[in-house]
Amino acid sequence: MSIGDVPNLPDRAVASSSDALSAPSVPPSSIERLTALLEVLLCSGFPTQLALILLLTASGNVPPDGALSLSYVVRLSLLDAALVLGLIWVFLRLRRESPRAVFFGQRPLGREATLGLLLVPAALVLLAVTSTIVRNVAPWLHNVPENPLEALINSPAAAAAFALVVVVAGGIREEVQRAFILRRFETHLGGPVLGLVVFSIAFGLGHLVQGRDAALFTGLLGAFWGVLYLKRRSIVAPVICHSGFNLVEILIAYNMASALSP
């Protein structure tokens, strides 16, 4: 799955894209709900990462002593992105849903991309405000002195590798994933608001390795990008905003590492 060039569709197909996103007129059956729940679980990122970790471990492609390494993080992240995006595409096609309708809607791509760029400062301000509040109100949430992933950004090559990861496995994969899961909640599992709450919590918990405060921040950011998708019905602005935010974080981490190096 990519947000690259999207082919122009005939007028009839574009006009019907809103119909493809409308909620079903007949309530889903129990089997349909269970199937949707299974799709959400499989595309949540947890089962696929666990399977890939076991596969990499069995093949001997693990860093020594359980420590994180740049090559391991890059390999795991990109493989997981490919697997999750592939599963989402398969599940959409099995239900005869249009990936274009689900992920792009009818809004102009250029305008959505511009909006995404303009919202990068808003995401950075959200992080700055919440981190200030946590630092003063609940400092005990900062339980990881040094982010283990940021510690790996110690050279231009490492920064470039992480830049690729945060765009592909972060901006693209996570926003396609979020849109798909919100869609499943909207049509089968209790509504988009419930989906936004549940997946934002899960999104934050997936970053616990970076600290409890980082999990809180990413959960809030996930909710921010989820609301943006629900308002726009296009992943373009969330993808651009998410990717831009991540790239700024990479730049900050690299500059800090460069300043501390002898």
CA-closest candidate to residue 187, choices 61, 27, 76 = 27
User: Where are the chain's structural domains?
Assistant: 25-260
The CA distance from 107 to 12, in Å, is 16
For residue 149, the model assigns a pLDDT of: 77
Q: What is the pLDDT of residue 79?
A: 94
Nearest of 78, 44, 71 to residue 167 by alpha carbon: 78
Crossing angle (nearest 10°) for helices 173-188 and 70-94: 30
The per-residue pLDDT for range 63-122, each reduced to its tens digit, is 766 667 888 889 999 999 999 999 999 999 999 999 999 999 999 999 999 999 999 999
Whole-Å CA distances, 10 to 14, 100, 149, 236: 6, 13, 45, 21
**10-residue mean pLDDT series, the chain (262 residues):** 38 39 69 94 91 87 71 90 96 93 93 96 94 90 79 85 93 95 94 93 85 90 95 96 95 79 58
Residue 53 phi/psi, 5-degree rounding, is -60, -45
Closest CA to 253 of 175, 173, 156, 169: 156
Q: What is the pTM of this model?
A: 0.84
Q: Is 32 in contact with 190 (CB distance < 8 Å)?
A: no
**Tokens matching residue 50:** 């666990």
Q: Go through 54-87 and write b for each residue having 16 or more CB atoms within 10 A of its CB, e for each that does not.
A: eebeeeeeeeeeeeeebebbbebbbbbbbbbbeb
